[in-house]
């Protein structure tokens, strides 16, 4: 069975990031997405795989933290003095 594509509104509800964050991340190539005409679509399985690779200290295993997803700029495990 083919996995359905979702839009930014659905990702916003699932993960809590604002739509603008998803659009910006998709346009920059940071997250996997599909451009279909004027619409931007995503596969939840690809977003989940991308998130798993974002978690620091796990070498691509596990889930990203909500702080990182929220686009706060604060990532767990980062030393603030190195910014």
Which is it for the CA torsion 4, 43, 8, 16, positive or negative?
Answer: positive
Angstrom distance (rounded) from CA 8 to CA 65: 19
pLDDT digits (tens, 9 = 90+) for 50-62: 999 988 765 544 4
Q: Which two tokens stand for residue 13?
A: 């509800």
pLDDT confidence tier of residue 69, bands split at 50, 70 and 90: low
Average pLDDT, the chain: 80
């Amino acid at each position: 069975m083919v996995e359905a594509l979702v839009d930014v509104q659905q990702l916003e509800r699932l993960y809590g990031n604002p739509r603008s964050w998803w659009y910006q991340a998709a346009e920059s190539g940071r997250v996997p997405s599909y451009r279909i005409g004027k619409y931007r679509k995503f596969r939840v399985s690809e977003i989940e795989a991308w998130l798993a690779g974002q978690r620091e200290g796990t070498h691509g295993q596990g889930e990203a933290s909500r702080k990182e997803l929220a686009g706060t700029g604060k990532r767990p495990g980062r030393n603030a003095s190195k910014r």
